[in-house]
């Protein structure tokens, strides 16, 4: 259990801090590799959708049916699944468009002008974007942590998928802050810090949820995690992948992600 705990927290920390990778890409590359991003985001969505529907949802259902009865357990599983979706949907609803992490930026936006625009409104927007992404990442941290704690074989691909989708969010934070201040360090710092919401989510999950963990709570959390990840995939990853898409690359990535996840699950059975 102790080994799983350290692994779960380490994976959540790695996934969250991937926002810093996006910031670094914005500073040290000239153009966005749209083919790679489209493939990677599609791959991430494939991993998350497959593992949510085939593995996590099923484990939640087994736990809840075993702890309750078949009828109530099935209803609880479905309720937890759509409850997870509702949580993320509400977070998105109350994040204004300019601060929403789904509004992606390209590296070219960073390099469009070498002169910083001293604009307090732009700085405010960039800071708010960082805050919005931090809020958005909090439940993702809970999802990554609880999945890895229960089953490291699930946690590792989920953490990688979350990390991939955090990279464009790092760019979204860095671009407006850099334009407003001309300070790469400040832009990187805020981008990096916005990712800390995920390990904070892991800490909250550990201290608030783990002491009371039983089959019912585990089942509801796990079904909620499945809902969160499916919503993220459909609302964020796939639309973002299509924005960068060229010649259906995002769909190829989606299928590849599902295949890799399916094979990896078969290998650990």
Q: Say if residue 64's pLDDT is above 80.
A: yes
* 137 annotated as belonging to a binding site for a ligand: yes
pLDDT of residue 80: 94
What one-character DSSP code corresponds to residue 95? S
For 146-167, write each residue's pLDDT tens digit.
Answer: 888 877 877 888 888 888 777 7
> How much is the CA Rg of the chain, to the nearest whole Å?
19
* 74 annotated as belonging to a binding site for a ligand: no
CA distance 22 to 27: 9
* 111 annotated as belonging to a binding site for a ligand: no
Element (H, E) at 182: none
Specify the higher pLDDT residue, 257 or 25.
257
In a 13 Å sphere around the CA of 97, the CA atoms on its Cβ side amount to 0
pLDDT of residue 126: 66
What one-character DSSP code corresponds to residue 223? H
State the pLDDT confidence band at 209, using cuts at 50, 70 and 90.
Answer: confident
Yes or no: say if 92 and 136 are a contact pair by the CB < 8 Å rule.
Answer: yes
State the pLDDT confidence band at 48, using cuts at 50, 70 and 90.
Answer: confident
Specify the higher pLDDT residue, 230 or 91.
230
Of 64, 80, 63, 60, residue with least CA distance to 72: 64
CA distance 266 to 57: 17
* 103 annotated as belonging to a binding site for a ligand: no
> Phi first, then psi: what are they for 183, rounded to 5°?
-110, 105
| Residues contacting 2, CB < 8 A, separation 6+ | none
* 166 annotated as belonging to a binding site for a ligand: yes
First to last CA, the chain: 20
The predicted model gives 32-55 an average pLDDT of 79
CA distance 41 to 81: 23
Q: What is the pTM of this model?
A: 0.68
Residues of the chain with pLDDT > 90: what percent? 10
pLDDT of residue 159: 85
For 174-197, write each residue's pLDDT tens digit.
Answer: 776 777 777 778 888 888 888 888
CA distance 80 to 216: 11
| Domain-wise residue ranges, the chain | 2-268
Lowest mean pLDDT among 26-30, 72-76, 104-108: 104-108
pLDDT of residue 114: 43
Give Cα separations from 174 to 40, 111, 118, 144, 226 (angstroms): 20, 12, 15, 24, 30
Yes or no: say if 223 and 57 are a contact pair by the CB < 8 Å rule.
Answer: yes
């Amino acid at each position: 259990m102790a080994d799983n705990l350290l692994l779960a927290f380490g994976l959540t920390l790695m996934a969250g801090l991937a926002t810093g990778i996006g910031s670094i890409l914005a500073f040290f590359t000239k153009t966005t590799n749209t083919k790679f991003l489209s493939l990677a985001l599609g791959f991430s969505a494939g991993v998350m959708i497959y593992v949510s529907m085939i593995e996590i949802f099923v484990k939640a259902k087994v736990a809840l049916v075993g702890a309750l009865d078949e009828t109530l357990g099935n209803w609880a599983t479905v309720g937890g699944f759509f409850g997870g979706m509702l949580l993320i949907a509400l977070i998105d609803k109350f994040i204004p468009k300019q601060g929403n992490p789904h509004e992606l930026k390209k590296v070219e936006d960073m390099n469009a002008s070498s002169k910083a625009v001293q604009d307090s409104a732009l700085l405010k927007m960039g800071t708010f974007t960082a805050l919005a992404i931090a809020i958005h990442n909090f439940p993702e941290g809970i999802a990554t942590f609880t999945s890895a704690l229960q089953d490291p074989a699930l946690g590792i691909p989920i953490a990688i998928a979350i990390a991939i989708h955090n990279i464009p969010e790092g760019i979204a934070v860095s671009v407006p802050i850099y334009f407003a201040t001309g300070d790469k360090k400040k832009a990187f710092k805020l981008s990096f810090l916005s990712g800390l919401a995920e390990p904070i989510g892991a800490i909250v999950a550990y201290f608030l949820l783990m002491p009371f963990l039983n089959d019912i709570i585990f089942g509801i959390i796990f079904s909620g995690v499945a809902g969160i990840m499916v919503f993220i995939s459909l609302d964020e990853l796939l639309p973002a992948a299509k924005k960068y898409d060229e010649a259906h690359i995002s769909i190829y990535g989606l299928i590849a992600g599902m295949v890799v996840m399916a094979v990896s699950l078969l290998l650990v059975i």
